[in-house]
Amino acid sequence: MDLQLTGSRVLVTGGTRGIGRAVVETFVDEGAVVEFCARDAAEIEATEEAVGGRATGVQLDVRDGPALTGWVEAAAGRLGGLDAVVANVSALAAGPGEENWYASFEVDLMHTVRLATAALPHLEAGGNGSIVAVSSVSGREADFAAGPYGTMKTAIVGYVSGLAFQLAGRGVRANVVSPGNTYFEGGFWQGIEHGNPELFADSLALNPTGRMGTAEEMARAVVFLSSPVSSFTTGTNLVVDGALTRGIQL
């Protein structure tokens, strides 16, 4: 299927590792022009090299609201507009303590709000804009990550659902992808596999497929929802979890 993304102008936050890196690579493979941000300069350079210079990275901490807004404006200028943005970054702050609540609020939720707000005029100008936020199945049901992480992931779904309703008549779609447990090199679940093998085994056993998802599988969902092919899909929460969660979405 041609996703009609050739020449599309796309921003991705947290584009150097895991799902974010796979999102960048998938957009590039579909012919999009991509800018991404991340905090680590070396990882940015490695990602640029891995995609053959077909995407450009900017060093940025998304907790810095003015810097995030400034990047969106500058990137829109460099690209000549925006067609899609992907709010991918997470603080992965699952433990107790107020510092994790603040981190999850600023990184997971507010970076999504700020990215969407800054990008909206550019997305609206194009007439077929897309906002996709990456949430989690931990935002759909209570699990071991309940607390700051799960709460903010739930809030992202609520925010984007409202945004979709508000923007439906303005040529901009807004959707969420909620990945299940996703295993990749250097990622959260690889760390759990070595640091807490009992939790890893228990989590793996919950999935009837017998495995965890890959970053590439999550990225394909993000890119599809971002594409013109998905032109009548807005306000959805696409759960990609291999039937890990059992709840029925009504």
Q: What are the catalytic residues?
A: 135-136, 149, 153
Backbone angles phi, psi at 206, to 5 degrees: -70, -20
- Concatenating the DSSP letter of every residue in 89-120 gives ------SSSHHHHHHIIIIIIIHHHHHHHHHH
Backbone angles phi, psi at 196, to 5 degrees: -145, 70
- Concatenating the DSSP letter of every residue in 55-86 gives EEEEE--TT-HHHHHHHHHHHHHHHTS-SEEE
Extract the tokens encoding 47. 């990602």
Angle CA 234–236–241, to nearest 5:
140
| Interatomic CA distance for residues 147 and 100, integer angstroms | 9
Q: Which residues 6+ apart lie within 8 Å of 47 measured at CB?
A: 15, 16, 21, 24, 36, 38, 55, 57
Backbone angles phi, psi at 170, to 5 degrees: -115, 15
| Interatomic CA distance for residues 77 and 82, integer angstroms | 9
| Interatomic CA distance for residues 105 and 197, integer angstroms | 29
